[in-house]
Amino acid sequence: MKVGARAEWDRLRTVMMHRPGIEMHLGLLAPYASLYERAFNLGDALLEHHKLEYILKREFGVRVLRLKEVIVEAAERDDGFREKLIDAALEWVGYRGSRVEAARAKRELERNSEILDPVHFFNIILLNPLIDLAKGKGARAMYVDIIERQPLSNIYFMRDQQAVTDRGIALSRMSKPQRRRESLLTRLAWDALGLNPVHSTQGPGTFEGGDFMPMGDFALIGTGDRTNREGVEQMLKHAVGFDQVAVVHQPRHPLLGGSTDRMINMHLDTYLNVASSGVVVGSELLLKDAKVEVYDMEGAGAYARSGSGDLLSYLKKKGFRVIDITTLEQMCYATNFLCVRDGHILAVETDRAAKNVLANLRVKAGENPHRYGALLSQAEKDYSSLRLSGNFFPHKRDVYQFDVDAVPMTLTNLTGGYGGAHCMTCSLYRS
């Protein structure tokens, strides 16, 4: 199976996705703690995900692989892989309470592993259960509590557990504990497909795929809340072969009253994306503030710093035209579109997301006006202006003038998890 990507605008051939399940239900019980932006309707989110997959397959001819299906089908046909899945799952089942009953439950699970189906073990890794057992009065009277510890409620954002570079798959080490185990499942998927990652990020390094963009003869790697300096250095040494790499420092949002909210622009693709071989979309407010360090390749795995500046100037020097978006559009995931081929993008309907984003921002500003007041004021001004002009992304004049063909999608619910079509797809192969 072919894997690799040299440019975001090359034709998308194969993606990996994960259709949300019980883990999203658990995430919605505590949206903030689950790294979601807001609560949303699970049933409608699933319909949106079905539609996203359908459009990729039917309209663009993209091969769509699903994480769960890849792992389960491999376990059903390959006894060796099935054992690997079982071993991985058994590491993530915890027991406590009555020593006798906990030992019995553990023995039963191990003894019954030949009977239980692969989905059972996939779900164990997904949910990370802790089984708490206490004996009651009477024959077989038991108190059984099953606690899901850090369920992988964000795993439908398949971009982040790895980056696909010109050299192959580079496995992430996620920054947040809520997401740290996700790469365990995706690593199993790559094993199932016979794909060997070229690198696996090692601690204390952190790296997430939303911070990586291949750009032809160069690449961008973001650093900040999710990807740290050690993670970047590992990527430069082991995972990329581009002539030049620009390391982009996560900008502090200038409208946050001197404070920070790293979630607003957590990854590079939340404020910048590539629509074609000559056009990028981004918030100039943030692009101007995003500092870059430029590194040129000196040999295999060896890069030397050759310059610095800001991201906006760097991209313009590279010959890219910039479609500027407003503060509100950036918060509505305008840049989190998916480029399926040069000049063709699958975009979020930002006007559909705007009301929910504004409502959530008003709550934040009510609780902390100093931090969010200016941001809310600007977002509300943007909303009024964009409504009057009918200029919401992707229905902007520049989109048409720069010859970008945008297929808009309503992802009102799925974006509640803090991401759009780009975040929800791992682009395995572009050609």
Output b/e per residue, 108-139; b: 16+ Cβ within 10 A: ebeeebeeeebebbbbbbbbbbbbbbeeeeee
pLDDT of amino acid 260: 79
Cross-sheet strand order for the sheet of 12-17: 63-66, 12-17, 426-430
223: phi then psi, degrees, rounded to nearest 5: -135, 145
**Residue extents of the structural domains in the chain:** 12-70+153-430, 74-148
Query: Could you report the per-residue pLDDT of 214-265, keeping only the tens digit for each?
Result: 999 999 999 999 999 999 999 999 999 999 999 999 999 999 977 778 899 9
Query: Could you report the per-residue pLDDT of 315-372, keeping only the tens digit for each?
Result: 999 999 999 999 999 999 999 999 999 999 999 999 999 999 999 999 999 999 999 9
Q: How far apart are CA 213 and CA 211, in angstroms?
A: 7
Q: Cβ of 6: how many Cβ atoms within 10 Å? A: 18
pTM above threshold 0.75: yes
**Residue 142 clears pLDDT 80, i.e. is over it:** no
Pairing between strand 162-164 and 302-310? unpaired
For residue 135, name the pLDDT band (cuts at 50, 70, 90): confident
For residue 140, name the pLDDT band (cuts at 50, 70, 90): confident
Return the closest-CA partner of residue 211 out of 263, 256, 247.
247
For residue 301, name the pLDDT band (cuts at 50, 70, 90): confident
CA atoms 22, 26, 29, 31: torsion sign: negative
Mean of the pLDDT values across residues 167-185? Answer: 97
Cross-sheet strand order for the sheet of 199-200: 162-164, 169-171, 199-200
Q: How far apart are CA 202 and CA 4, in angstroms?
A: 21
**DSSP-assigned beta bridge partners for residue 302:** 299
Return the closest-CA partner of residue 425 out of 21, 74, 49, 70.
49
For residue 143, name the pLDDT band (cuts at 50, 70, 90): confident
Mean of the pLDDT values across residues 168-186? Answer: 97
Query: Could you report the per-residue pLDDT of 32-59, keeping only the tens digit for each?
Result: 999 999 999 999 999 999 999 999 999 9
pLDDT of amino acid 141: 79
Give CA angle at 166 (267, 241), nearest 5°: 95
Which option is the CATH number for 12-70+153-430: 3.50.50.100, 3.75.10.10, 3.40.190.10, 3.40.50.150? 3.75.10.10
pLDDT of amino acid 40: 97
